[in-house]
Amino acid sequence: MRFREPLLGGSAAMPGASLQRACRLLVAVCALHLGVTLVYYLAGRDLSRLPQLVGVSTSLQGGSNGAAAIGQPSGELGTGGARPPPPLGASSQPRPAGDSRPVAASGPGPASNLTSVPVPQTTSLPLPACPEESPLLVGPMLIEFNMPVDLELVAKQNPNVKMGGRYTPRDCVSPHKVAIIIPFRNRQEHLKYWLYYLHPILQRQQLDYGIYVINQAGDTMFNRAKLLNVGFREALKDYDYTCFVFSDVDLIPMNDRNAYRCFSQPRHISVAMDKFGFSLPYVQYFGGVSALSKQQFLTINGFPNNYWGWGGEDDDIFNRLVFRGMSISRPNAVVGRCRMIRHSRDKKNEPNPQRFDRIAHTKETMLSDGLNSLTYQVLDVQRYPLYTQITVDIGTPS
Amino acid sequence: MRSFVPLFLVGILFPAIPAKQFTKCELSQLLKDIDGYGGITLPEFICTMFHTSGYDTQAMVENNGSTEYGLFQISNKLWCKSSQVPQSRNICDISCDKFLDDDITDDIMCAKKILDIKGIDYW
């Protein structure tokens, strides 16, 4: 583009003047374009969710957004459980205003013994089912591990999470009753990051969830799978969970569209870890974070109890699923991106040299090694604001 | 004065020696030499080494009184020399610690011997 000729007609002015005019015109057009783009962008965005875009939630205001978005759609949310008048006796829905459950179950209309707190309209009506996909999700998030985490502050930032790390959506009934089981020993710093990032995400996913940290007592070899078995048993003592997410303490999802709940097939959640170049290290990989429904878990006799040390137990679990006719369901590699907190190899969790032999025999061993052979002793149960910690003695390699 | 310069350079190069965690692509380049050896293709080697050592050149794992070293997890029971197993046949005629550095040419050399004598079943 040459500016020798005057663009706006008129006399043949000096090249400098027409150049100036042309530049001004260009700048004006660009500014106009940017302005129009900005208008369209702002019109389409919900700015109140800006803090969540960086993986942090100050105080969760998702409730009102969620309710507004759910509205009263006609047919699609008609899951049997939510529509008819109070079936809520089955699921526990503790009301913040202190209503007890019998109040909700006693019939429609404002109940007589409501508290003096101005009643939100939802207490007298049955709650709708939560939508298939939560409207609160933000997608990709920024995950970093370079700042210190104060769990008291995290608890304040997540006021709707109840003692023991329990949360139930306030404005809708979630079909996903999820116990999140974390095998643990001596990783308090990692746990802090996990809680900091995951609580906001899990709430945005509108899950009815509880966090269980299963802490292996003693100094013998670490046994991840057995701890997960214990988590399954112990979580069920608290609540009728129907779904179990098994997560390593050092894995954080980078996209909240990666659902931490169960599917019709066993679900692999940590499919694209930064440690493996954001891809699956091998197609049968089932480690890191996974989700099994209660039925899927029972079908495979739970997890093996005999994998002491690092490695192999996730491959054994994969084998169990395949031998029972199941397959692995996964999100795509973009949604499935995860960050792992870098750390050196733990002591007493060295690679298990027997793992290759063991995974060659899953078909036989799964019959006798699993839930049906699980023995352990609970030493301590602690209810913290953001999680429940169960310290357990799982014995030693036999 | 001039003699201090190489000394200085050596000094700053020292920390660069330990701990190499290869990526799949880096390792593929380095293992071209072993591609097809003993009838095992390069992808098969890459896959096997992932499960064996996770591409960690410093991997050192105890296994029932013997220890396995490096990328290929070569055992001191038979193949290399270490103080833990003094009666080792030391077939590769090398000290096991040499398998823990970044230079994997000696690891490859010994892996070839293992393939000759025992085959891929070693892994």
How many Cα atoms occupy the beta-carbon half-sphere of A186 within 13 Å? 13
Q: Is residue B111 part of a domain?
A: yes
Task: Check if the beta carbon of residue A350 is closer than 8 Å to that of residue A397.
Answer: no
Model pLDDT, residue A4: 53
Q: Is residue B1 part of a domain?
A: no
Q: Is residue B87 part of a domain?
A: yes
Tell me the per-residue pLDDT of A238-249, one tens digit each, with 9 for 90 and over: 999 999 999 999
- Residues near A51 by beta carbon (within 8 Å), at least 6 away in sequence: A57, A58
Tell me the per-residue pLDDT of A310-354, one tens digit each, with 9 for 90 and over: 999 999 999 999 999 999 999 999 999 999 999 888 889 989 989
Q: Is residue B13 part of a domain?
A: no
Q: How far is A258 from chain B (nearest CA, A)?
A: 26
Of the ranges A52-66, A288-302, B46-60, which is most confident?
A: A288-302
Tell me the per-residue pLDDT of A249-301, one tens digit each, with 9 for 90 and over: 999 999 999 999 999 999 999 999 999 999 999 999 999 999 999 999 999 99
pLDDT for residue A85 is more than 50? no
Query: How many domains does chain B contain in total?
Result: 1
- Say whether A282 and B23 touch across the interface (CB within 8 A): no
ipTM (interface predicted TM) = 0.76
Task: Check if the beta carbon of residue A209 is closer than 8 Å to that of residue A175.
Answer: no
Burial class (CB in 10 A: 0-12, 13-18, 19+), A161: buried
CATH of the domain at B63: 1.10.530.10
Instruction: Say whether residue A397 is in contact with chain B using an 8 A CB cutoff.
Output: no
pLDDT band at A49 (very low <50, low <70, confident <90, very high): low
Instruction: Say whether residue B65 is in contact with chain A using an 8 A CB cutoff.
Output: no
Tell me which chain B residues have a C-beta less than 8 angstroms from the C-beta of A281.
50
Tell me which chain B residues have a C-beta less than 8 angstroms from the C-beta of A353.
61-64, 68
For testing contact with chain B, the best of A221, A273, A274, A276 (most B CBs within 10 A): A276
| Token pair for A60 | 């969760």
Q: Is residue B31 part of a domain?
A: yes
> What integer best gives the mean pLDDT of chain A?
84
Comparing A89 with A143, which gets the higher pLDDT? A143
Of residues B23, B24, B61, nearest to A350 (C-beta)? B61
Q: Is residue B24 part of a domain?
A: yes
Query: Which runs of E-coded beta strand occur in chain A?
Result: 166-167, 177-184, 208-216, 243-247, 251-253, 267-268, 272-273, 289-293, 337-340, 377-383, 388-393
Comparing A143-147, B10-14, B103-107, which segment has the lowest mean pLDDT? B10-14
pLDDT band at A99 (very low <50, low <70, confident <90, very high): very low
Domain boundaries, position B25: 19-122
| Percent of chain A at pLDDT exceeding 90 | 71
DSSP label of B48 = H
Q: Is residue B8 part of a domain?
A: no
Compute the distance between CA of residue A188 and CA of residue A387 in angstroms, rounded to an integer: 12
Whole-model pTM?
0.72
Tell me the per-residue pLDDT of A352-364, one tens digit each, with 9 for 90 and over: 989 999 999 999 9
Q: Which three-class secondary structure state does DSSP give residue A331?
A: coil
Quick one: closest CA in A to B21, which residue? A275
For testing contact with chain B, the best of A313, A345, A349, A358 (most B CBs within 10 A): A345
Q: Which residues pair with B67 in a beta bridge?
A: B62
- Say whether A356 and B51 touch across the interface (CB within 8 A): yes
Q: Is residue B5 part of a domain?
A: no
Tell me which chain A residues have a C-beta less than 8 angstroms from the C-beta of B22.
none
